Amino acid sequence: MEEYKTLRPQYIQAALWSEAPRHSCCQNCLEETVLHKCRTCQSGPELCAGCFCKAHRYTPWHHPETLKGPSFARTTMDALGYVLHLGHSGDPCPHTTVQLPDSSPSEESEDDLEAKGPVNPLGRPPQKSACPSTAIKMTLVDSNGVFSMPVQPCQCTDAPTLNIQLCRSKIFPASAKRPRTGFTFRLLDLAGVLQSDCKLAPLAICKMLQRVTNEAFPDYVPVSFILNTYPSMHSKRIPIRTGTESCSGA
């Protein structure tokens, strides 16, 4: 303890150093623009929105931050223009058409946007970005939080239905027809351990997900859909996790 008291100021200084911006341009493409960094990645670089989305193609469950003034502020993957592509190993389907954002100025004032209330887990409206015209806005729940982002299904002629595509991407759909909510297999496995070994109720797990998603305003994160769909999702995940049911060809 005495050793820690001596080193405590140095630890605090090092922690503050890791939070401060240190570059004026993207560390990948060297473009001078608004920079973003990942709060979840270990020593992640400061990148522009395009490079950030490319770097997180396989890790959409991370929490980005945007440089605003002298410090970084929390934002969302959706606000950076991220699209989760199903099939093709995370690459866009070649049969997907892209819809460019509307460049006309919005007639809504900031007061009108605030009156509508939060539209994503962080309570901020997403920025306009190029997005596939067939993308579906979904709420995806991971052990790292609750995320709202566009999901682009594979459009190939032999592509399976959306619920099967989600399962192949390790996301369990909340419904078989027109799913708009999904749970990652990682979350279901963790929730099973928390319930069986730690005796945590589903409500406690939902509270944890709220706090992880938005620690400042956890009430912005909806939890009712989690409570309504989680028990059935977890029970269906058990046969695959325990190996009692074959998943070949899935």
Query: DSSP for 110-138?
Result: HHHHHHT--SSTTS-PPPP--EETT-EEE
Q: State if pTM tops 0.85.
A: no
The answer to whether residues 68 and 148 touch, using CB atoms and an 8 Å cutoff, is no
Separation CA 76–CA 82 (nearest Å): 9
Q: At what angle do helices 185-196 and 224-242 cross, to 10 degrees?
A: 90
Kindly list the distances between the CA atom of residue 104 and the CA atoms of 92, 107, 114, 189, 245, in Å, as whole numbers in the listed order. 27, 9, 20, 45, 53
User: Which tens digits make up the pLDDT trace of 128-181?
Assistant: 445 666 889 999 999 999 999 999 999 999 999 999 999 999 999 988 889 999
| Residue 206 parent element (H or E) | helix 202-213
Q: Hunting for tokens 């199903």 — which residue is that?
A: 86
Separation CA 246–CA 250 (nearest Å): 9
The conformation of residue 41, written as its DSSP 8-state character, comes to S
33: burial class by Cβ within 10 Å (0-12, 13-18, 19+)?
middle
User: Which tens digits make up the pLDDT trace of 15-33?
Assistant: 888 888 888 899 999 988 8
Residues of the chain with pLDDT > 70, as a percent, come to 74
Length of the chain: 250
